[in-house]
């Protein structure tokens, strides 16, 4: 039986790959992946704090808007307090709606990762020409406001069409976060070259954990701690990427941010064993390794 296949990469079991170390000599690259998003009022797509697939209303719009008005500013303060670099998957529309974000992001020097125009839409349902226009519009806005072109992409709802990788590589993107197939970066084929996949967590992610599955904030703390402890053990054999995905309208709620603080206190006790970085730096470092060290397409 021959199942449908994407043909974007081949099978590569981790135990047969070359071993390398991160730039500081460690085996764990630690990155916080935050998402800064803009939604349409009473229209389009959007999550809900209590009900799956709830219709869009003023209630769930305002819940998400809390992230851009309050949660993200508490998160920035936390990053400063812990002296942590960060990346942000950013809808281009949010920077136009909330210009104060641009000032703080540029002041901190954080990484802008393109995240489409808005999370009120998905790109995987568009015709190729329209998807290409979405990518171009997002890229143009982020480049203008950040002062430099983004090199990484994550689609709204972690969604891709059959040609997304091709369009992104042709638009100059170097890596994507949409393929959670590994704990290490790997190369993927496109019709005009290759693009790197950098690990991004679907499960160590505040929305699936605390919104979709309705787990508690303390459950999420335990998830972060357990993920770190097990990765620390596995890193004796392999270099790994330990990433945590966050959304300021979720993690920015005070009772949840307190839990994130405790989780960071736990992880950062082993700060000397971590390369604390951002996805773009991970992609650039892996691209610089000798041929064969990163699984090839």
Rounded Cα distance, 215 and 244, in Å = 16
Residue 88 placed within a domain? yes
Residue 7 placed within a domain? no
Q: Can you give the residue range of the structural domain that contains 209?
A: 19-39+52-288
Instruction: Provide the pLDDT confidence category of residue 134 given band limits of 50, 70 and 90.
Output: very high
pTM of the model: 0.96
What CATH number is given to the structural domain containing 108?
Answer: 3.20.20.370
The answer to whether 204 and 245 are in contact (CB under 8 A) is yes
Q: How many domains does the chain have?
A: 1
Rounded Cα distance, 175 and 167, in Å = 12
Please state the rounded mean pLDDT for residues 183-210.
97
Rounded Cα distance, 31 and 279, in Å = 7
The answer to whether 36 and 248 are in contact (CB under 8 A) is yes
Residues contacting residue 266 through CB under 8 Å, at least 6 positions apart: 224, 225, 228
Residue 12 placed within a domain? no
The answer to whether 54 and 70 are in contact (CB under 8 A) is no
- Hey, how many other C-beta atoms are within 10 angstroms of the C-beta on 297? 17
Residue 8 placed within a domain? no
Rounded Cα distance, 227 and 217, in Å = 15
Residue 234 placed within a domain? yes
Tell me the pLDDT tens digit for each residue of 83-131: 999 999 999 999 999 999 999 999 999 999 999 999 999 999 999 999 9
Residue 179 placed within a domain? yes
């Amino acid at each position: 039986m021959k199942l449908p296949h994407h043909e974007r990469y081949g099978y590569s079991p981790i135990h047969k790959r070359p071993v390398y170390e991160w730039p500081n000599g460690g085996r764990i690259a630690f990155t916080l992946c935050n998402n800064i998003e803009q939604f349409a009022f009473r229209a389009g797509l959007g999550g809900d704090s209590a009900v799956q697939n709830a219709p869009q209303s003023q209630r769930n719009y305002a819940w998400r808007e809390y992230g851009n008005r309050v949660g993200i500013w508490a998160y920035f303060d936390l990053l400063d307090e812990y002296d942590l670099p960060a990346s942000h998957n950013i809808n281009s529309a949010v920077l136009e709606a909330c210009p104060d974000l641009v000032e703080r992001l540029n002041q901190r020097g954080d990484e802008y990762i393109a995240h489409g125009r808005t999370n009120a839409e998905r790109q995987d349902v568009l015709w190729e020409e329209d998807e290409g226009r979405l990518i171009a519009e997002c890229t143009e806005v982020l480049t203008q406001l950040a002062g430099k072109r983004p090199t990484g992409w994550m689609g709204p709802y972690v969604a891709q069409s059959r040609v997304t990788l091709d369009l992104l590589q042709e638009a100059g993107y170097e890596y994507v976060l949409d393929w959670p197939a590994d704990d290490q970066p790997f190369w993927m084929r496109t019709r005009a070259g290759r693009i790197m996949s950098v690990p991004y967590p679907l499960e160590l992610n505040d929305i699936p954990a605390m919104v979709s599955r309705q787990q508690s904030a303390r459950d999420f703390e335990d998830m972060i701690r357990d993920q770190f402890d097990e990765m620390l053990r596995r890193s004796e054999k392999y270099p790994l990427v330990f990433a945590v995905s966050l959304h300021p309208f979720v993690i920015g709620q005070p009772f949840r941010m307190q839990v994130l603080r405790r989780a960071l206190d736990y992880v950062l006790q082993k700060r000397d064993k971590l390369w604390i970085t951002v996805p773009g730096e991970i992609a650039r470092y892996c691209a610089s390794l000798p041929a064969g060290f990163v699984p090839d397409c």
